[in-house]
Chains A and B, each alone.
Chain A
Amino acid sequence: MSKQIEAYTSLQMAFHKHLIHFMAFFTITGLPILAPGYFWFIAWGIGYPINFFSGDMQEAHIIASGMTALRVIHWSTAFLFTLFIIPFTISMLMNIRTWAIWPDRWGIAAMIDGLVQMKLHYIDQEHATFGKMNIGQKASAWVMVGCTILLVISGYALMMRGLIPEELAVLARSAHALSFILLMVVLVFHVYFATMPANKAAYKAMMKTGTLDEEIVKEHHGLWYEKLKRRGIVK
Chain B
Amino acid sequence: MNVNMKCYDPQACILCFACMVNCAAENRLRLQRNDHIPMEESVQSTIPHLNHLTPRREELGTYPEARMVTAFHHCNHCEESPCQSICPTGAISTRPGGEVVIADELCIGCQSCGDACPFDVPVYSKENGKAYKCHGCYDRVENGLKPSCVTACPTEAMFSGTADEVLAEANRRIGIYHQTTGKEFVIYGADEVNSYVGDLRWVTIVEKGDLEAYQLDTNPRRLAMDLRDLAKPAGGVLAAAAVVGTTAHFMYWLDKRKKKIAEGKEDTHE
Task: List the interface of chain A (C-beta within 8 A of B).
Answer: 32-36, 43, 60-61, 63-64, 67-68, 71, 121-123, 125, 127, 161-162, 166, 169-171, 173-174, 177-178, 181-182, 184-185, 188-189, 192-193, 196-198, 200-201, 219
A63 to B252 CA separation, bound complex (whole angstroms): 43
Given contacts A60-B106, A181-B231, A188-B242, contact A32 B224 (CB under 8 A): no
A–B complex contacts, Cβ < 8 Å, 15 sampled: A36-B87, A63-B89, A67-B88, A67-B108, A67-B110, A121-B269, A122-B253, A127-B268, A170-B224, A173-B115, A181-B235, A185-B242, A188-B239, A188-B243, A189-B246
Q: Name the A residues within 8 Å of B141 (CB-CB).
A: none
Task: List the interface of chain B (C-beta within 8 A of A).
Answer: 87-91, 103, 105-108, 110-112, 114-115, 120, 126, 222, 224-225, 227-228, 231-232, 234-235, 238-239, 242-243, 246, 249-250, 252-253, 256-257, 260, 268-270
B227 touches A61 (CB 8 A): no
Number of A-B residue pairs having CB atoms within 8 Å of each other in the complex: 104
B108 touches A68 (CB 8 A): yes
A63 to B106 CA separation, bound complex (whole angstroms): 9
**Shortest Cβ gap from A175 to chain B (Å):** 8
A173 is contacted by which of B87, B89, B112, B239 (Cβ under 8 Å)? Answer: B112
> B234: nearest residue on chain A (CB-CB)?
A181
A167 to B106 CA separation, bound complex (whole angstroms): 25
Q: Name the A residues within 8 Å of B228 (CB-CB).
A: 173-174, 177-178
B227 touches A174 (CB 8 A): yes
- The residue in B88, B115, B239, B256 that gathers the most chain A C-beta atoms within 10 A of its C-beta is B88
Question: B interface, by DSSP: helix, strand, loop or mixed?
Answer: helix
Q: Name the A residues within 8 Å of B232 (CB-CB).
A: 34-35, 177, 181
B253 touches A185 (CB 8 A): no
B110 is contacted by which of A33, A181, A184 (Cβ under 8 Å)? Answer: A33
Q: Name the A residues within 8 Å of B260 (CB-CB).
A: 125
**Shortest Cβ gap from A40 to chain B (Å):** 8
A196 touches B89 (CB 8 A): no
Q: Name the B residues within 8 Å of A178 (CB-CB).
A: 227-228, 231
- The residue in A171, A174, A189 that gathers the most chain B C-beta atoms within 10 A of its C-beta is A174
> A192: nearest residue on chain B (CB-CB)?
B246
A174 touches B225 (CB 8 A): yes
A64 touches B231 (CB 8 A): no
A184 touches B89 (CB 8 A): no
- The residue in B115, B126, B222 that gathers the most chain A C-beta atoms within 10 A of its C-beta is B115
A130 to B183 CA separation, bound complex (whole angstroms): 74
Q: Name the B residues within 8 Å of A200 (CB-CB).
A: 270
A125 touches B269 (CB 8 A): yes
A198 is contacted by which of B106, B108, B224, B270 (Cβ under 8 Å)? Answer: B270
> B230: nearest residue on chain A (CB-CB)?
A178
In order of increasing CB-CB distance, the 6 nearest A-B pairs are A181-B235, A174-B224, A188-B242, A192-B246, A36-B88, A64-B89
B89 touches A185 (CB 8 A): no
B239 touches A60 (CB 8 A): no
- The residue in A122, A170, A177, A193 that gathers the most chain B C-beta atoms within 10 A of its C-beta is A170
Q: Name the A residues within 8 Å of B108 (CB-CB).
A: 64, 67-68, 71
A71 is contacted by which of B110, B242, B270 (Cβ under 8 Å)? Answer: B110
**Shortest Cβ gap from B102 to chain A (Å):** 12
B111 touches A185 (CB 8 A): no
**Shortest Cβ gap from B217 to chain A (Å):** 15
Q: Name the A residues within 8 Å of B257 (CB-CB).
A: 125, 197
A161 to B126 CA separation, bound complex (whole angstroms): 12
A71 to B88 CA separation, bound complex (whole angstroms): 11
A198 touches B242 (CB 8 A): no
Other A-B pairs beyond A174-B224, A188-B243, 11, CB < 8 Å:
A33-B112, A43-B89, A60-B103, A63-B89, A64-B107, A64-B108, A71-B108, A71-B110, A162-B126, A170-B222, A173-B224
